[in-house]
Amino acid sequence: MTLSTATSSVRHAAFDLLENRVSRLPGSRLINRFIIALIVANGVAVVLESNPQLYVAYEDFLVAFDLFSVVIFTLEYLARLWAVSEHPRYHGMSAIRARVRYALTPLALVDLLAVAPYYLALFIQIDLRYLRLFRLLRLLKLSHYFDGLQVFATVLRREAGAIAGALMIMTVLVVISACLMFTLENAVLPGHFDSIAQAIWWAVVTLTTVGYGDVVPLTFGGKLLGIVIMLCGVGTMALPAGILAARFSEELHQRREVLLARIREALADGTLDPEEEASLEQLQQELAIPAGDLARMIRSQQAWQARHRYCPHCGSSLPP
């Protein structure tokens, strides 16, 4: 075996372990679970070390754990970057170009930001508060392992225009509400509505129906305006949530329809061979559909075909 062949084999194995969800390598699931647990533990560590007493008592352990985490996440990032040329998405590209393309993807940038501040802190003095904030970005690495987050990101990207429109309406409504309340309450509530900028706080908490109660209008016109703004907020602030919920459901339905069509095609001859099964699993991972749904859809389609047997060529019914 030549050196290049051995390198390619090792790179393919690394890709299967880290990126290939359909991989049947025994260590793949174990590595994924270990990294998920490490990510969650880092989030817990950041929260705990913000307590000065806990940090002083366990400083050595927390520092060692952070160093251990950085080493693991760095190795993971470098391994993903090295093995990404094996990804079907980058077939036909040179290894360098594939790695550059991958390094600029959101997931790869999150992986880089999860470790880069640690190395920067070795050469540049960074405020601990900001360093802690960057460490919390490690929680975003969970998007590698939870398909639902990828679906949500797709929905956000496709509905960016509609969400931007809803946010624009909300912004205009906040500014108009703040201007009106400033005009009505400025004279009777000094210190709270001294400027439109101060009134924006009241407008936001009122429109979102949070209503902290720290600023309450005193005039009749101010109270009447508050009622109108609260009623408008009930519908307006729900717009983005409604858009996302509807699009999320539609996206899942479309993905399941694509997978169901492929299942029907694979079962056209009445059997599901290992190659077709692997192809369906690959598609299921690409569409971010839970593996349990794929199994249920296959069983359902097989049961339907058992009840409705027909010739795949002419469409005529077949005897039981």
Tens-place pLDDT, residues 65-86: 988 988 998 998 888 888 887 7
Give residue 252's identity as a one-letter amino acid code: L
3-state secondary structure of 268: coil
Residue 12 is encoded by which pair of tokens?
């393919």
**pLDDT score at 211:** 65
Reference 278, options 11, 57, 24, 26; nearest CA is 24
248-255 average pLDDT score: 82
* Region(s) of the chain under CATH 1.20.120.350: 3-145
The hierarchical CATH code for the domain 160-237 is: 1.10.287.70
Q: In terms of CATH architecture, what is 3-145?
A: Up-down Bundle (1.20)
Reference 257, options 219, 215, 226, 301; nearest CA is 301
The answer to whether the CB of 24 falls within 8 A of the CB of 285 is no
**Average pLDDT of the chain, as a whole number:** 78
Phi, psi of 86 (to 5 degrees): -85, -10
3-state secondary structure of 107: helix
111-127 average pLDDT score: 79
116-144 average pLDDT score: 74
56-65 average pLDDT score: 87
- Give the residue with greater pLDDT, 129 vs 276: 276
Residue 25 has pLDDT above 80, yes or no: no
Residue 159 is encoded by which pair of tokens?
């509905």
**pLDDT score at 68:** 92
User: Measured between alpha carbons, how far is residue 319 from residues 59, 269, 272, 306, 314 in Å?
Assistant: 75, 15, 21, 11, 14
Range of weakest confidence among 80-84, 171-175, 195-199, 289-293: 289-293
**pLDDT score at 243:** 80
The answer to whether the CB of 266 falls within 8 A of the CB of 276 is yes
Residue 87 has pLDDT above 70, yes or no: yes
* Region(s) of the chain under CATH 1.10.287.70: 160-237
For 265-318, what is each residue's pLDDT tens digit? Answer: 888 777 777 788 878 877 777 777 776 778 888 888 878 777 766 555 555 555
The DSSP code for 308 is S
Please indicate, yes or no, whether the overall pTM of this predicted structure exceeds 0.75: no
Phi, psi of 202 (to 5 degrees): -60, -40
From CA 23, how far away is CA 31, in angstroms rounded? 12
**pLDDT score at 317:** 53
Q: What percent of the chain has pLDDT over 70?
A: 85
- Give the residue with greater pLDDT, 148 vs 255: 255
For 149-160, what is each residue's pLDDT tens digit? Answer: 677 777 778 777
The answer to whether the CB of 115 falls within 8 A of the CB of 77 is yes
User: Measured between alpha carbons, how far is residue 43 from residues 66, 133, 289 in Å?
Assistant: 11, 10, 27
Residue 99 is encoded by which pair of tokens?
């790695």
Residue 3 has pLDDT above 70, yes or no: no
